[in-house]
């Protein structure tokens, strides 16, 4: 039996690692599966663990007020040294581009322990955008033994000398369908989710047109975020019959400009960050998605939602090429004109909404498990 440790620390990682955890657990005669969380984002991580029915075996519990990259990196590196030495795993699985994934990979490299990298091969090739994620993912690729690339383009970004690369699709599609199916099939959960949304959102989200907004990227802090907020305000004035729903990230660099600029509009709804099950149901009912996030560029196209990305570069070029995502940067006028085009031009809207999602059909975790079985057995 091979011992595998899954290490993650943020909400997006947990969402995307959950299907892998459950798939590997099906092979209990081949693998002993251990979950280690860093709790890099404690408040946003725990609800996802509960939703996906995951009880961590190891909790580093590093979260503290005012932590920065130095704090996160040094704390995880020191604690993972002890975890790895005590458990001596055959493989450690990390996901994506977080500081948890990067630091865990570094600890494994120091101890000569094999790393499997889920969501490998994403690239902007600009070390400062996104920061520090682009650096993190490139370093992880240098030391990983197994790489699970969502798409063929991701595979092509990886070194041709690496022998253990699989194209799997993205596990977020697995999670998205799992949660939506659970909501539809479980009346108790469906009522619970709808009631919570009704208490959070003060308009008829099932019938009225609304734009779902997410924004929290570090590289947009400052002028970029001010531009984003002013553009949303312009749109709210221009389209009074359209609602703008913004779950606002807890970071003060986001909270302060959003609150100062967007608080006094009847059709702008600023709400607290939403647990995943509430968010995906609102995503399903949204009209357009306006974001600077990463994962939502993969999720929204599965539901036929046009995505406008307020970044200058994206590591998810497949979605841009497929026509499901449009890069619009943080220029105030361009954000307004791009949203206006989709609201005013139904043909353009439909063209984007029916584009094919390049990130798979929800069987990524199964492919990852099969690849690991092939590698060991």
C-alpha 239, offset from chain centre = 29
Cα angle: 66, vertex 72, 75; to 5 degrees: 120
Please tell me the distance from the alpha carbon of residue 97 to that of residue 103, in angstroms, as a whole number: 10
257 in Cβ contact with 219 (< 8 Å)? no
Integer Cα distance of 33 and 353 in angstroms: 39
Q: For the stretch 177-200, what's the b/e string if a residue is b when 16 or more beta carbons lie within 10 angstroms of its beta carbon?
A: bbbbeebeeeeeeeeebeeebeeb
Put residue 115 in one of left, alpha, beta given phi > 0 → left and psi -120 to 50 → alpha: beta
Active-site residue list: 97, 119, 133, 216, 218, 249
The alpha carbon of residue 95 and the mean position of all alpha carbons in its chain are separated, in whole angstroms, by 10
Contacts with 236 (C-beta within 8 Å, 6 or more apart), sequence order = 242, 244, 262, 265, 267, 268
Could you give the CA distance from residue 305 to residue 8 in angstroms, rounded to a whole number? 28
**Beta-carbon contacts of residue 153 (< 8 Å; ≥ 6 apart):** 121, 317, 318
Beta-carbon count within 10 A of 36 CB: 23
Cα 311 to Cα 127, 129, 293, distances in angstroms: 14, 9, 9
């Amino acid at each position: 039996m091979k011992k595998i440790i899954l290490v993650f620390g943020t909400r997006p990682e947990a969402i995307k690692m959950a299907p892998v955890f459950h798939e590997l657990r099906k092979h209990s005669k081949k693998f002993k599966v251990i979950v280690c969380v860093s709790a890099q984002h404690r408040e946003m991580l725990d609800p996802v663990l509960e939703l996906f029915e995951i009880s961590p075996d190891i909790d580093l519990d590093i979260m503290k007020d005012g932590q920065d990259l130095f704090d996160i990196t040094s704390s995880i590196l020191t604690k993972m040294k002890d975890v790895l030495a005590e458990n001596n795993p055959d493989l450690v699985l990390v996901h994506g581009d977080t500081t948890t994934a990067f630091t865990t990979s570094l600890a494994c490299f120091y101890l000569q322990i094999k790393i499997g990298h889920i969501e490998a091969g994403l690239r902007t090739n600009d070390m400062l955008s996104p920061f520090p994620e682009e650096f993190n993912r490139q370093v992880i690729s240098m030391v990983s033994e197994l790489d699970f690339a969502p798409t063929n383009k991701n595979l092509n970004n990886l070194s041709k000398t690496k022998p253990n690369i699989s194209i799997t699709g993205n596990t977020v599609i697995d999670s998205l369908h799992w949660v939506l199916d659970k909501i539809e099939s479980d009346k108790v959960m469906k009522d619970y989710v709808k009631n919570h949304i009704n208490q959070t959102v003060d308009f008829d989200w099932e019938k009225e047109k609304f734009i779902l907004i997410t924004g929290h990227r570090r590289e947009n802090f400052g002028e970029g975020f001010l531009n984003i907020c002013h553009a949303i305000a312009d749109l709210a004035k221009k389209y009074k019959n359209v609602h703008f729903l913004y779950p606002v990230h807890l970071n003060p660099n986001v909270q302060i400009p959003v609150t100062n600029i967007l608080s006094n509009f009847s059709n702008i709804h600023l709400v607290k960050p939403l647990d995943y099950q509430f968010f995906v149901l609102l995503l399903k009912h949204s009209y357009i998605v306006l974001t600077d996030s990463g994962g939502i560029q993969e999720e929204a196209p599965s539901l036929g939602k046009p995505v406008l990305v307020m970044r200058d570069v994206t590591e998810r070029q497949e979605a841009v090429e497929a026509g499901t995502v449009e890069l619009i940067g943080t220029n105030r006028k361009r954000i307004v004109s791009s949203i206006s085009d989709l609201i005013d031009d139904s043909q353009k809207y439909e063209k984007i909404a029916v584009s094919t999602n390049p990130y798979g059909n929800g069987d990524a975790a199964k492919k990852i498990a099969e690849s690991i079985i092939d590698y060991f057995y």
